[in-house]
Amino acid sequence: MPRMSRTAVLLLLIVSSSVFLLFQLYYYRKYVSKQPGPHLLNPAGHLTASHVQWTVKKFLALAQHFKLPLFLADTAALSLLSQHALQQHDRLEREPPCSFLCTGRPFTSFAVYANLWKYDPGFLLAAEQKGFELLELRGEDPRLASLDTLSGEKIPLYFLFRLHSYVIQVVFLYERSGNYLWHGALRLKADMDRSFAPFKLLDYGRHAGAYDRPQVVLTVLDNLDVRVPRNVTLFLAEQRQARFLECRYRDARNFLQLYPDDSSAAAVDFRRKAKSLLHLAARTLSHLGVPFWLSSGTCLGWFRQCNIITYGRDVDIGIFIADFRSDMIAAFRDAGLSLKHKFGKVEDSLELSFLSDEVKLDIFFFYEEGDVVWNGGTQAKSGRKFKYIFPRFSLCWAELLELKVRVPCETLDYLMANYGTTWGVPVRSWDWKSSPSNVQENGVWPLAEWSELIQVY
């Protein structure tokens, strides 16, 4: 039998390969492309709605099997849901099959109540068997923090599941002693794949966050059973202002090594009273819808030693004058506090002071002026006015005395404005008219207005 030429063999291989490729293309177009999973991109190169829906459905089924108590926390999807609720009565046309989860972003964010789920490695293994790639991020547990060490096993902070370039972000929410929920910051280790997810676009992880516990309800979104916050608008508002600052435990430990804490009976009693007063003030202002932050010595105590300064003998908070309410004094009186003094007026240098169980609550009202903010002070016997100037700041959440409270995010700048570069050294002798670094003379109240502007009880 004559041997086939090399050209004929090569031609036969090319024809066979072409036929096989054509068969694969026919099979894909006729059968595979009808399934939601494998065909990922539309002609424009974006993930298709069917793939997004299919990926989320696949993940939710897995989570349900392992009883993972998830709820939708994706800001883009929840915004669409909120807008839909407002416009629903005007919508007559049939909605597209993926109206909420298909946000145009390559990820969807969910949150999980960590205390309601026992960590199960089988969930992660099952996810991998379903085709998901996994990136698990862990961190220190701040609930186990003390002034000596930040101890304990690292806890899961985030799960990131990726399937065909689409990412599911799971945020772990932990209960804190102040009866609020907390999540940590997302920090990648040096050996982690920084291309795993669009980290800069993710809703959660740029910083730690704190939330009131949302009430969650089960609903149907895009033909999928999904839990969502009952009050979507409130949750989204909280998410925008959720940044949380952890107390600096290591620095506090170093401070207390240099300046041991006062453990006398009087100091312990003051801390108990100050805690009660701060909680009472927070409840009262919350009912009024008035935000406040720790100011002056109370803010210094949180930042410097993660506690209240006992020799200060008062509790200091700040409120923007724009948030002042005329029924504020009555609300504090109804809560059991007595008005000690009222200085200034809403237009200029307002200051309120209340008394409860021999501990004073000083409320300083802040005024915005150009690139700075300031609060005023008044000397009762002379009518002299003072002004304390601070750089502008934003507000973050923190915890003090088992209470979720706000502090200036730029805490060090705020404290240095008030206490100078020696803020880290305790000063027991403090003159509010001359000791602060940011104090300025601001004139004198007209004698004829003293009865209205300088009220001492």
Per-residue pLDDT of 135-187, as tens digits, reads 999 999 988 876 555 556 789 999 999 999 999 999 999 999 989 999 999 99
Same domain, 208 and 295: no
Residue 29 lies in a domain: no
Same domain, 342 and 195: no
Question: Of the candidates 414, 415, 433, which has an alpha carbon nearest to the alpha carbon of residue 423?
Answer: 415
Q: What is the C-alpha to C-alpha distance for residues 71 and 261, in angstroms, rounded to an integer?
A: 43
Mean pLDDT, all residues of the chain: 88
Number of domains in the chain: 2
Residue 40 lies in a domain: no
Question: With contact defined as beta carbons under 8 Å apart, do 107 and 166 qualify?
Answer: yes
Same domain, 390 and 283: yes
pTM here is: 0.86
Q: What is the C-alpha to C-alpha distance for residues 108 and 105, in angstroms, rounded to an integer?
A: 8
Instruction: State the maximum Cα–Cα separation within the chain, in Å, rounded to a whole number.
Output: 127
Question: With contact defined as beta carbons under 8 Å apart, do 397 and 212 qualify?
Answer: no
Same domain, 73 and 204: yes
> Which of the listed residues 223, 241, 259 is the one where a domain comes to its end?
241
Same domain, 199 and 232: yes
Q: What pLDDT is stored for residue 33 in this prediction?
A: 39
> Domain range for residue 60?
49-88+95-241
Same domain, 205 and 260: no
Same domain, 104 and 227: yes
> Which of the listed residues 213, 241, 269 is the one where a domain comes to its end?
241
Residue by residue, DSSP assigns 149-200 as -B-S--EEEEEEEEETTEEEEEEEEEEETTTEEEE------TTS-TTSS-GG
Q: Is 288 exposed, middle or buried (0-12, 13-18, 19+ CB in 10 A)?
A: middle
Same domain, 263 and 226: no
Residue 2 lies in a domain: no
Residue 393 lies in a domain: yes
Residue 130 lies in a domain: yes
Q: What pLDDT is stored for residue 151 in this prediction?
A: 55
Supply the CATH number for residue 146's domain.
3.30.460
Same domain, 312 and 425: yes
Q: What is the C-alpha to C-alpha distance for residues 331 and 329, in angstroms, rounded to an integer?
A: 5
Per-residue pLDDT of 112-136, as tens digits, reads 999 998 888 899 999 999 999 999 9
Distances (CA, A) of 7 to 4, 17, 404: 8, 15, 81
Same domain, 224 and 267: no
Same domain, 284 and 428: yes
Residue by residue, DSSP assigns 283-338 as HHHHHHT---EE-HHHHHHHHHHSS--GGG-EEEEEEEGGG--TTHHHHHHHTT-E
Residue 316 lies in a domain: yes
> Which of the listed residues 222, 241, 260 is the one where a domain comes to its end?
241
Q: What pLDDT is stored for residue 31 in this prediction?
A: 39
| 114 Rama sector, left if φ>0, alpha if ψ -120 to 50, beta otherwise | alpha
Residue 383 lies in a domain: yes
Per-residue pLDDT of 271-300, as tens digits, reads 999 999 999 999 999 999 999 999 999 999
Q: What pLDDT is stored for residue 97 in this prediction?
A: 75
In sequence order, the 6+-apart residues with CB closer than 8 A to the CB of 137 are 156, 157, 158, 159, 160, 186, 187, 188
Same domain, 316 and 414: yes
CB atoms within 10 A of CB 289: 8
Mean pLDDT for 302-315 is: 94
Question: With contact defined as beta carbons under 8 Å apart, do 271 and 302 qualify?
Answer: no
Q: Is 197 exposed, middle or buried (0-12, 13-18, 19+ CB in 10 A)?
A: buried
Residue 387 lies in a domain: yes
